[in-house]
């Protein structure tokens, strides 16, 4: 048995994935355990859970694979600073300690965090887009396919086209930093007042309310887009290379004013900007898909990378019939790259013959349910100990009871089986509601999710009834394809309302899941992958005649999706959800003791969305006895040396040094035997030295940036050797480049 652990960390969404003999055993994001949204720290808790789930220890692992090549990424960062200097000093000062503090030495970081790894277990590296491509192709049902990966940036690549065949992936073309569709979309996300790397979904949800009046301006001023989908950005309008913000003030002027602050109201201008960038993004993605088809000749397409989460564009690619079938990795962002890294090391091992790949139908992702599961008895005792009033349902009564609640327009928290891997809840960690209700979207947004009311919810629909409700030509099990609601179900547009006010108008007979442009972000439910959810939908259809339910992730704004039953219970108490079903345990809000409900921490919206912490932010406090022993040994040795020299120079003053030395030796002995006693001094000294050292290092780094890097950058640029390709060339036929030859998995560069 070969057990391979894939990791992603230090940028967006840290995650761990465990693959045993090619089978995906477990995968989860760190945020679900740490309860810190988009947690990018080393995924210690996710790793520990993956190993526990498989009954393994660190010592059992045959390889650990990191999802990018850190040295290449660092070199690209240096090239970026050389390109923009003297601007970018602040980003240099912030980033360099993070690189030195662990990002550059991933082998050391992994071995330090996983001390049980055997010496024979290698730490391997894929490139970032190799990991995305592997996550898109290997779990897919296709033996041969085109692979399109599009994101912000990996090492250098921002977009790649590859061909997958059997167990091999061949990278064919790439676009390179700083020309990135992901960064372009994120720039508009920032401009409209949403968080980069998490607010892109909001921008996409806003787009249908606006008109694409700025689309030509984006095409003409911000881009040079070729017919084959390759493009370059006009970097005069962006400042992401300097690292302080995404956009330059020239960008503000282009779109009629300053960027929206998150607390400011959304104006018509923002709606139009959102619609315009969405339109251009769809246009680019369509061209990229056509190019992928032309270059590979494949009939099916796999996608991954953060931009593959743009499900409106995905729906368009499908409707344009560029490919026969489309499969998108449900964890398309960087979390999924942890899985891709592990699969790449399995199918393209650094030594030995690659194993044969047998694609599975519908795919190998197990419906995305790769996280922790639940045990009914444990759930019931936890809930009762917490003071909850619990009804234990049996198999026969579970579905009818929940169907009746939903038919009565109740909002139901629904926690079943294993947690989903990726950004969407797919019916295992979900909040469900009646799609027929005109009030459901507003109620769920404002009373349960505490978020903007313009955002639509996704429909769950029985796979076999999909065509009755939507114009969708293939299953969409991961909620990654948007398709139109069927014309006969639509209501005419409201005559009086405009802009965001249109959200209150029911747009179809299933208004809770129909966006203002009559689109829906569909999740099809089949009886094989989701038997219980399928039964629930079937039961709901029998009672109401409607085979569609509202599905939204079980969390509130600013928090990760719930992981455990106790997370679910806390979230249930914090919100105004009517019922919670965890396994076979049912909690009705009306039954719960008043003191429990009133004693719960209610949500305070202004406290939501905490800023993520990055590696290098704050002192690194290690909580192992070996660290406290090391701390004692170092300080005793330093004090001993000082004492010795003082005694040599001033023998009369320090005549008692042997006694002092004896005391130091006693401290050393206690430190070795009782290291825990030195935890607090260790923490105090580490924090103090960090706060003294940080400003000094910032001054030194800033001087280095201006005195060394800036002149060197000037010389390079003056000599025509700009480290990164910046210029647009309207006469050039294409910007596609050939990817460098594959680099060995043992190499971090």
Residue 512, classed as helix, strand or coil, is: helix
Own/partner pairs for 220-223, CB < 8 Å, 24+ apart? 221/254, 222/184, 222/254, 223/184, 223/280
Q: For this structure, is 12 an active site residue? A: yes
Nearer to Fe ion, 12 or 584 (CB): 12
Give the C-alpha separation, 407 to 437, whole Å: 10
Please state the closest distance from residue 215 (CB atom) to Fe ion, in A. 26
624 and 656 Cβ atoms separated by less than 8 Å: no
Nearer to Fe ion, 341 or 701 (CB): 341
| Closest residue by Cα to residue 58 from 3, 4, 116, 122 | 116
Q: Say how far apart CA 279 and CA 293 lie, in whole Å.
A: 21
Q: Cis peptide leading into 178, omega within 30 of 0?
A: yes
Q: Are 209 and 275 in contact (CB under 8 A)?
A: yes
In degrees and rounded to multiples of 5, residue 501 shows phi and psi of -60, -20
Does 716 sit behind a cis peptide bond, omega within 30 degrees of 0 on the bond before it?
A: no
Q: How far is the CB of 106 from Fe ion (least distance, A)?
A: 16
> Which residues contact Fe ion (rule: CB under 5 A)?
151, 334
Work out how close the CB of 167 gets to Fe ion at its nearest, in angstroms, rounded to a whole number: 23
| Min dist. Cβ of residue 159 to Fe ion (A) | 11
Stated length of the chain? 749
Which one, of 667, 619, 673, lies nearest residue 639 by Cα? 667
Minimum gap (Å) between residue 41 Cβ and Fe ion:
17
Q: How far apart are CA 449 and CA 555, in angstroms?
A: 7
The nearer residue to Fe ion, 329 or 437, going by C-beta atoms, is 329
- Reduced to 3 states, what is the DSSP secondary structure of residue 737? strand
Measured from each CB, the residue nearest to Fe ion is: 151
* Separation CA 741–CA 720 (nearest Å): 26
DSSP letters of 315-371? HHHHHTTSSSEEEE-TT-SHHHHHHHHHHHHHHS-SSSPPPP----SS-SSGGGB-S
Residue closer to Fe ion (CB basis): 150 or 537: 150
Beta strands in 137-264 (DSSP E): 144-150, 157-165, 168-176, 223-225, 231-233
Q: Nearest distance from residue 337's CB to Fe ion, in Å?
A: 6
What the block records as the tokens of 628 is 């406290």
Cβ nearer to Fe ion, comparing 155 with 300 = 155
CB 209 within 8 A of CB 499: yes
CA distance 210 to 196: 21
- 79-95: burial string, b at 16+ Cβ within 10 Å, e else: bbbbbbbeebbebbbbb
How would you list the strands of the sheet with 579-582, edge to edge? 391-392, 585-588, 579-582, 412-415, 429-434, 548-553, 458-462, 519-525, 481-484
Which residue in 12, 195, 270, 534 is the catalytic one?
12
Q: Which CB, 9 or 444, lies closer to Fe ion?
A: 9
**How far, in Å, CA of 27 to CA of 15, rounded?**
7
263 CA to centre of own chain: 24
Q: How far is CA 737 from CA 224, 266, 659, 710, in A?
A: 16, 40, 71, 29
Give the burial string for 174-193 (b: 16+ CB within 10 Å, else e).
bbbbbbbbbbbbbbbbbbbb
In sequence order, the 6+-apart residues with CB closer than 8 A to the CB of 290 are 228, 229, 322
> How crowded is residue 718: how many other Cβ atoms within 10 Å of its Cβ?
9
- Residues carrying an active site annotation: 12
């Amino acid at each position: 048995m070969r057990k391979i652990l894939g990791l992603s960390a230090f940028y967006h969404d840290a995650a761990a994935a465990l693959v045993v003999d090619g089978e995906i055993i477990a995968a989860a994001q760190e945020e679900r355990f740490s309860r810190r949204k988009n947690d990018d720290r080393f995924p210690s808790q996710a790793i520990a859970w993956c190993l526990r789930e498989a009954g393994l220890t660190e010592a059992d692992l045959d390889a650990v694979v990191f999802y990018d090549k850190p040295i290449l990424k660092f070199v690209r960062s240096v090239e970026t600073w050389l390109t923009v200097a003297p601007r970018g000093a602040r980003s240099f000062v912030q980033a360099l300690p993070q690189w030195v503090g662990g990002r550059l030495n991933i082998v050391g970081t992994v071995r330090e965090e996983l001390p049980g790894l055997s010496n024979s277990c290698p730490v391997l590296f894929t490139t970032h887009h190799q990991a995305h491509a592997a996550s898109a192709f290997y779990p897919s049902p296709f033996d041969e396919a085109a692979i399109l990966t599009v994101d912000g940036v990996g090492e250098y690549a921002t977009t790649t086209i590859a061909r997958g065949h059997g167990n091999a992936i061949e990278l064919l073309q790439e676009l390179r930093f700083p020309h990135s569709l992901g960064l372009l979309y994120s720039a508009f996300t920032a401009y409209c007042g949403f968080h980069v790397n998490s607010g892109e979904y909001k921008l996409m949800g806003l787009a249908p309310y606006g008109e694409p009046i700025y689309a030509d301006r984006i095409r003409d001023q911000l881009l040079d887009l070729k017919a084959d989908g390759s493009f370059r950005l006009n970097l005069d309008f962006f400042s992401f290379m300097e690292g302080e913000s995404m956009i330059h003030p020239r960008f503000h002027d282009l779109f009629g004013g300053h960027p929206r602050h998150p607390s400011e109201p959304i104006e018509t201008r923002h709606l139009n900007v959102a619609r315009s960038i969405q339109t251009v993004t769809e246009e680019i993605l369509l061209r990229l898909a056509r190019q992928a088809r032309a270059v590979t000749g494949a009939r099916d397409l796999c996608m991954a990378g953060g931009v593959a989460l743009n499900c409106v564009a995905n729906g368009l690619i499908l409707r344009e019939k560029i490919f026969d079938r489309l499969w998108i990795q449900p964890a398309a962002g960087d979390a999924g790259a942890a899985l891709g890294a592990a699969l790449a090391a399995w199918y393209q091992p650094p030594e030995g013959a690659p194993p044969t790949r047998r694609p599975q139908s519908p795919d190998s992702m197990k419906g995305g349910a790769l996280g922790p599961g639940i045990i009914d008895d444990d759930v019931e005792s936890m809930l009762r100990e917490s003071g909850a009033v619990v009804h234990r349902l049996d198999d026969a009564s579970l579905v009818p009871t929940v169907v009746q609640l939903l038919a009565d327009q109740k909002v139901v928290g629904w926690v079943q089986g294993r947690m989903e891997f990726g950004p969407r809840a797919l019916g295992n960690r979900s909040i469900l509601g009646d799609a027929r209700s005109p009030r459901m979207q507003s109620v769920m947004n404002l009373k349960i999710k505490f978020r903007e009311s313009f955002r639509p919810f996704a429909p769950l629909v029985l796979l076999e009834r999909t065509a009755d409700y939507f114009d969708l030509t293939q299953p969409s099990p991961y909620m990654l394809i948007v398709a139109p609601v069927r014309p006969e179900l639509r209501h005419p547009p409201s005559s009086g309302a405009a802009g965001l006010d249109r959200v209150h108008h029911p747009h179809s007979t299933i208004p809770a899941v129909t966006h203002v442009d009559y689109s829906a972000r569909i999740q099809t439910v089949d009886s094989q992958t989701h038997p219980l959810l399928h039964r629930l939908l079937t039961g709901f259809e029998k009672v109401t005649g409607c085979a569609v339910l509202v599905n939204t992730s079980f969390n509130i704004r600013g928090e990760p999706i719930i992981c455990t039953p106790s997370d679910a219970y806390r979230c249930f108490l914090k919100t105004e959800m009517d019922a919670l079903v965890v396994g076979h345990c049912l909690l009705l809000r009306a039954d719960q003791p008043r003191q429990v409900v009133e004693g719960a921490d209610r949500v305070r919206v202004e406290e939501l969305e905490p800023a993520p912490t990055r590696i290098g932010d704050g002192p690194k406090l290690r909580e192992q006895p070996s660290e406290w022993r090391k701390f004692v040994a170092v300080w005793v040795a330093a004090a001993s040396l000082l004492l010795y020299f003082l005694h040599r120079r001033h023998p009369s003053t320090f005549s008692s040094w042997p006694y002092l030395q004896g005391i130091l030796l006693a401290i050393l002995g206690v430190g070795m035997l009782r290291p825990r006693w030195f935890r607090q001094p260790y923490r105090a000294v580490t924090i103090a030295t960090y706060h003294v050292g940080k400003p000094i290092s910032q001054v030194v780094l800033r001087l280095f940036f201006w005195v060394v890097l800036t002149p060197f950058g000037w010389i390079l640029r003056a000599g025509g050797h700009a480290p990164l390709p910046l210029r647009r060339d309207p006469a050039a036929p294409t910007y596609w480049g050939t990817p460098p030859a594959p680099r060995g998995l043992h190499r971090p560069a």
